[in-house]
Chain A
């Protein structure tokens, strides 16, 4: 659906996007992740045809944005970082204007707009002046704007930024609902958002793609079952001794005391071996019951930081 090849964008001397290539299949939700200033917004501005690229191509549904801009723009709904709103219009006036701009046939317009307003929760605010709306509602109007004309592709630049937690949950729900029949690229620097909504993640740092995979697989590659968090009831010395005597243990240490006679431990195994079963029987033999056992989850934060740091280091080495 979207194919980006060797995309480069210079702003004068500054290289904002440095040779990015990736594909997004039809119906996919891709999270575009990166620290501020990584080139997310620039890439999105190029995909939507707002900015021209210095070199490289963007194809949407087989059309090249630089050769057939109007064809591509018809297929894309875009919510920029700052929602493009006219403060002197009411919500309905504004969405009507957008429908005009996007050439939505007049007979379809009314139904489509009321569907969109229902979906993003603007129905009660449709007669309000945009100037008088709160940040969260302005964001919704921006999202509504991107849905006008029922585009197949949605490009959303930080759709949940600046919203309160309840609104964030709602907007995420809306985006998930939209995903059923659309291709979505969504940028964010909020990591849990990506694991919640996206099927695939593209991590971008300093204008380059640092990693690209599903959120789960990204965590697996770093995580596996090598690190365990453990809570055991019993004497701490004998627990440490028992575990220490097992095979494949890299290290074990007490982390904290939780209740009387109950301690928390962390341990790591060698070669990613899974010792959970063995551990259970050993402790049972010694009459030291395991109250809690879980693999130490590697969060996207860990991946993000490790990936971003890695690209940072290699660049320094190159220099």
Chain B
């Protein structure tokens, strides 16, 4: 499990991809942080709430190659014939993408530090918002890993995860209009509503469990997809 994770993390930082994604995302956070800084109203919680949507674009690019590449290059054989269970391999892959995401999180700590330097304070609300942000990132990474298991084409993997994430993000806006069971489902898969409760300063057990379960389910589905493909084709 950690062998796979270590290898993938090294791979991310050997190529420009991790740096570019981290750089772009930090730039986005900076753009949103800038008005807060000049207005003298240093509220990073709100910034975290605003930048969440951009993960929809960053995470698919980060995760698109994670399983698709192995399939395309035939290295999947190496992983599947090694004495490590498929579940552990998938978790290792997920941990690698999540680690790159965590680098973004850690780099973004620079903003609260700036706030503190200019005599602002770190609120418990901010801690809650960060927990929400991390959970959101984890679930998005899991979606990306899942999408990457579906195809050997990285671009298609990215598009699939983009579509899934986008649907999850906007689901609640249409939940009311659709109504009925469908509406309830859409409300349930809407991550935005749940993420907003974090940035509004509400840390509920239900939402934490929701994100963790969602992540675990996605990884489980990934294992099932690979298992199923082993049975169907050569």
Residues of A within 8 A of B (CB): 11-12, 16, 42, 45, 48-52, 70-71, 73-74, 76, 78, 80, 82-89, 93, 97-98, 100-103, 145
Contact = CB atoms under 8 A, between A and B. Distances in A.
A292 to B, nearest CB: 50
Nearest to A48: B81
A100 B75 CA distance: 15
Contact of B73 (A73, A84, A97): A84
B14 A76 contact: no
A102 B75 contact: no
Given A11-B234, A51-B230, A73-B82, A78 B77 contact: yes
Given A84-B74, A98-B82, 14 more contacts: A12-B232, A16-B234, A50-B81, A51-B230, A51-B234, A52-B231, A80-B74, A85-B73, A86-B7, A88-B11, A88-B14, A100-B2, A100-B3, A100-B6
Given A51-B230, A52-B230, A101 B82 contact: yes
B77 A74 contact: no
B7 A97 contact: yes
A87 B11 CA distance: 10
Among A16, A42, A97, chain B packs the most CB atoms within 10 A around the CB of A97
Contacts of A83: 74
Interface residues of B, number: 27
B80 interface: yes
Contacts, number: 72
B73 A86 contact: yes
Contacts of A70: 83-85
A50 B80 contact: yes
B39 interface: no
Nearest to B11: A88
Contacts of B76: 84
A273 B4 CA distance: 65
Given A11-B234, A45-B234, A84-B73, A73 B81 contact: yes
Contact of B3 (A12, A48, A101): A101
A100 B92 CA distance: 13
Nearest to B75: A84
A102 B77 contact: no
B83 A85 contact: no
Contacts of B82: 73, 98, 101-102
26 contacts: A11-B234, A16-B234, A49-B81, A50-B77, A50-B80, A50-B81, A50-B230, A52-B230, A52-B231, A73-B83, A80-B74, A83-B74, A84-B74, A84-B75, A84-B78, A86-B7, A86-B11, A86-B73, A89-B7, A89-B11, A93-B10, A97-B3, A97-B7, A100-B3, A101-B83, A102-B82
A84 B76 CA distance: 7
Contact of A145 (B11, B74, B78): B78
A80 B85 CA distance: 19
A103 B83 contact: yes
A74 B10 CA distance: 25
A85 B4 CA distance: 14
B81 A78 contact: yes
Given A70-B85, A86-B73, A88-B11, A101 B233 contact: no
